[in-house]
Amino acid sequence: MRHHSGSVEVIVGSMFSGKTDELIRRLRRATIAKQKVQVFKPAIDIRYAESKVTSHAGSEYDALPIQTASQIPEVLDPETTVVAVDEAQFFNGEITLIVQQMADSGLRVIVAGLDTDFRGEPFGSMPTLMAQAERVDKLHAICMICGEEATRTQRLLDGKPANYNDPVVVIGASELYEARCRQHHEVPRD
């Protein structure tokens, strides 16, 4: 069953905000509706499973790990009607063009990723994807310091906030990151 027109949905937020759980929920609903679904994830994300998108809460869905976004059109099944990309912030700028091409061809494209990096700055192509999307949902976590809504991802090294000049991409989960509100998000500079 094809869609009448394509669309782009973007799910963003800090780590531990439920982005992947929401992505999986939408994919399961699409499957119930007899839609053909394909899911992609960056090959560098091997935190839980190599060939699955997996939430911190343990939900999972089969996915194809890819090195670059340009691989998506190469392996896209002609019968697919819903395409999902998890952790899209790890792909370079070509992801925006590929997502738009898929939506223009009538596909429902669901993208999930961090909107900001550990510094609190826009992360990769996510701002462009959000601007081009028909629907954007920003999810919130719970601040590990005060319990208020968290919109930031705090990177910790030996229990202390990472420095602004540290590398932007460091793959990890609760051993390296926690959710924080604006007030408790810290990024020291040298």
Active site residues: 87
> What gap in Å lies between CA 3 and CA 25, rounded to an integer?
19
108 in Cβ contact with 83 (< 8 Å)? yes
86 in Cβ contact with 40 (< 8 Å)? yes
Strand partners, 52: 62
Q: Residue 71's Cα: distance from chain center in Å?
A: 18
Angle at 100 between CA 97 and CA 101, to 5 degrees: 85
> What gap in Å lies between CA 52 and CA 60, rounded to an integer?
6
Angle at 23 between CA 18 and CA 24, to 5 degrees: 100
- Four-residue CA torsion sign, 170, 91, 27, 17: positive
114 in Cβ contact with 89 (< 8 Å)? yes
Q: Residue 102's Cα: distance from chain center in Å?
A: 18
